[in-house]
Amino acid sequence: MMTEHDGNNDDLSGGPVRVVPIALDERSYDILIGPALLDRPATWQGLPKAAAAVIVSNETIAPLFLARVRAQLAPHYARVDAVILSDGERYKDWDSLNRIVDHLLATASDRKTVLFALGGGVVGDMTGFAAAIYMRGVPFVQVPTTLLAQVDSSVGGKTAINHPLGKNMLGAFYQPARVIADLDTLDSLPPRELAAGLAEIIKYGPIADAEFLSWIEANLDALLARDKAALAHAVQRSCEIKAWVVGQDERESGLRAILNFGHTFGHAIETGLGYGEWLHGEAVGCGMVLASDLSVRLGLMPPEFLTRMRKLIERAGLPVRAPRLGVERYLELMRVDKKSEGGEIRFVVIEGLGRAGMRGAPDALVAEVLDAYCD
């Protein structure tokens, strides 16, 4: 667990640093959240020592932040390289993964080499997977630059690439050594990407914290306006809830599946339309409407819950109607979901405000949900 920041937080220029610990025995680490983190030397102290660091980023993010990160890493590593990938969900594939591995091998990088994932969830998931498999595991650090990555994908150690037949189907559980969530990086995020991040923030309310759901409703306008205090609270609370879940079920043998509320429908939308058509967060936002409807149809929640979720998701600028892929196609896609067991689709449903569970549902009921929400 990192200590350099303890008792030092208020001395750092640019505002206080919030530290959320992830408690996983010898794999424990800290999430640092705050403004101006990239340029603070303290952010980069105490990381694993090595001869070389490799920053993995993409062609959009590198011009914005790469030079600053490289400058901070230079005093700590004799060699600091960069691998710049193409931008987009459609490039979360074997070819991009190979580009990272090719670089590591071509530069004779040893097993202490530290990888830095500078970007959103796509860069983070791929860099983490590369770190997990290169020489059976090298350390890596997440530097998330999207709201979605700061509240979800950079935390908890799920790493993956997509397969044409299924989202995130190839991957590993592999924890980072630290997560550095600089809120200032969100200033350049396109509005559509901000909304996508809000979807994963909204998710934490119904599954784990009814009070947080009310807080999001009351503060959504501030979040949309990128108010730093509101963002700091939303990122911190989201990470605390994720830390609580992952601390109990790191490898998703049970509880962790609740973090996939809205994802069964969402992944089907992403795979069915082709990666990159809808943003992941958009698909999750819409998926949460469908999963809320299913929770109501299963008799677990009152209809007002669905109205509340739909209104919030719509206010966040996210789609609440699903693409018309056809019921059979949806069912086929959802059977490939990692939560499926023996061909039965398992959905995360809300069983009470702030409480989620896993259920199967008859195809006919799922078809009713799809009929109600597909354009």
Known catalytic residues are 136, 158, 200, 242, 252, 256, 260, 263, 267, 280
Shortest approach of ligand GLY to residue 155 CB, angstroms?
7
Radius of gyration of the chain (CA): 20
By beta-carbon distance, which residue lies closest to ligand GLY?
259
Sign of the Cα torsion 37, 42, 46, 50 reads positive
Q: What is the DSSP letter of 344?
A: B
Q: How far is the CB of 367 from ligand NAD (least distance, A)?
A: 26
Is the CB of 109 or the CB of 142 nearer to ligand GLY? 142
Do 199 and 263 touch, CB atoms closer than 8 A?
no
Query: Any contact of residue 120 with ligand NAD (CB under 6 A)?
Result: yes
Name the nearest CA neighbour of 274 among 193, 329, 320, 314. 329
Q: Tell me which H or E stretch contains 355.
A: strand 355-360
**Contacted entry of ligand NAD, ligand GLY, none for residue 266, CB cut-off 5 to 8 Å set by kind:** none
> Closest approach of Cβ 260 to ligand NAD, in Å?
9
CA dihedral 296, 300, 302, 304 (to 10 degrees): -60
- Burial code of 242-265, b = ≥16 C-beta within 10 A, e = fewer? bbebbbeebebeebbbbbbbbbbb
- For ligand NAD, the closer of residues 109 and 238 by Cβ is 238
Contact status: 250 vs ligand GLY (CB under 6 A): no
Nearest Cα to Cα of residue 337 among 368, 357, 358, 322 = 358
Residues binding ligand NAD: what is the number (CB under 6 A)? 29
266 touching ligand NAD, by CB under 6 A = no
Based on the shown chain and the rule CB under 6 A, indicate whether residue 153 belongs to the binding site for ligand NAD.
yes
**Each residue of 331-343: b (16+ CB within 10 Å) or e?**
eebbebbbbeeee
Query: Does 260 participate in binding ligand GLY (rule CB under 6 A)?
Result: yes
Say which entry of ligand NAD, ligand GLY, none residue 237 contacts (CB below 5 to 8 A, set by partner kind): none
User: DSSP letters of 208-249?
Assistant: H-HHHHHHHHHHHHHHHTT-HHHHHHHHHHHHHHHHHHHHH-
Question: Considering CB distances under 5 to 8 angstroms, the limit depending on partner class, which of ligand GLY, ligand NAD, none binds residue 256?
Answer: ligand GLY
Q: How far is the CB of 145 from ligand GLY (least distance, A)?
A: 18
Smallest separation, CB 22 to ligand GLY (Å): 12
Residue 242, interface with ligand NAD (CB under 6 A)? no
Q: Which of 152, 182, 193, 337 binds ligand GLY (CB under 6 A)?
A: 152
- Cβ neighbours of residue 102 closer than 8 Å, sequence gap 6 or more: none
Buried b (16+ CB within 10 A) or exposed e, 22-40: beeeeeebbbbbbbbbbeb
Told to check if 154 binds ligand GLY by CB under 6 A, we report no
Smallest separation (angstroms) from ligand GLY to the CB of 200: 7
Give, in order, the Cα–Cα distances in Å from 332 to each of 326, 327, 372: 10, 9, 19
- Among 29-37, 77-85, 182-190, 207-215, the segment contacting ligand NAD (CB under 6 A): 182-190
Applying CB under 6 A, the span of 34-42, 95-103, 114-122, 337-345 interacting with ligand NAD comes to 114-122
Q: Which does 260 bind (CB under 5 to 8 A by kind): ligand GLY, ligand NAD, none?
A: ligand GLY
User: What residue type is 307 in one-letter code?
Assistant: T
338 binds ligand GLY (CB under 6 A): no
Residue 179's closest CA among 230, 145, 208, 204? 145
Residue 145 sits in the site that holds ligand NAD (CB under 6 A): yes
Beta carbon nearer to ligand GLY, 256 or 297: 256
Dig out the tokens for 322 from the structure.
Answer: 């699903």
What is the binding site for ligand GLY (CB under 6 A)? 152, 156, 158, 256, 259-260
What is the binding site for ligand NAD (CB under 6 A)? 58, 60-61, 64, 87, 89, 92, 119-123, 125, 145-146, 148-149, 152-153, 156, 158, 168, 185, 188-189, 193, 196, 280-281
